[in-house]
Amino acid sequence: MLKLLVGLGNPGPEYAQTRHNAGFWWIDALAARHGARLAPEKGYFGLVGKAQVAGQPLWLLEPMTFMNRSGQAVAALARFYRIEPEQILVVHDELDLLPGDVRLKQGGSHAGHNGLKDIQAQLGSAAFWRLRIGIGHPGVKSEVINWVLRKPPADERAAIDAACDRSQQVLEHLVAGEWEAAKRGLHAPAA
């Protein structure tokens, strides 16, 4: 059962609309959908809120450290509230998926994603769940940093927003730990 939902991104207006902030977009949409309010919490190095989903209270977190220090916020909140890695869902941008694609998985490699890398290091575990929001790949490795820190064109942003919406429709399954049902709903071809 999930207890903490984390969206990854970089703080500041200059990054707000960039692909790397897809995790923040997801949390913002979820907070709006469930009437939750995110507020700065210095002790957790981020914006923190609480939502009720399927009768379960869930912590929401957007780390306000930069991406490569995301684990500082996640670990601080998880330790204080005794939340195990398996009870955490981290939502992040994914280069290896096209805009509009979304995938759920548990554990595995950080695949070079600095936010995931730091969360694994700070938690001492890779067993947390990941919701991977596709942002596409520039096609050339040397362009990746510029790609993730750039605003997507309107059609790609619409596809990313649609993926966020689709993934939130299976949130009740996620909260209940019904992973296979959630995956069936997420991994079905987009209509």
| Binding site listing for tRNA | 15, 66, 68, 114
Q: Do 32 and 88 touch, CB atoms closer than 8 A?
A: no
Nearest residue to 30 via CA among 177, 158, 160, 171: 171
Q: Is 20 a catalytic residue?
A: yes
Do the Cβ atoms of 6 and 74 come closer than 8 Å? yes
- Binding positions are 15, 66, 68, 114
List the structure tokens of 17: 């609309």
Q: Spot the catalytic one: 20, 92, 113, 173.
A: 20
Nearest to 157 by CA among 28, 60, 21: 21
| 37 in Cβ contact with 153 (< 8 Å) | no
Q: Which residues are part of the catalytic machinery?
A: 20
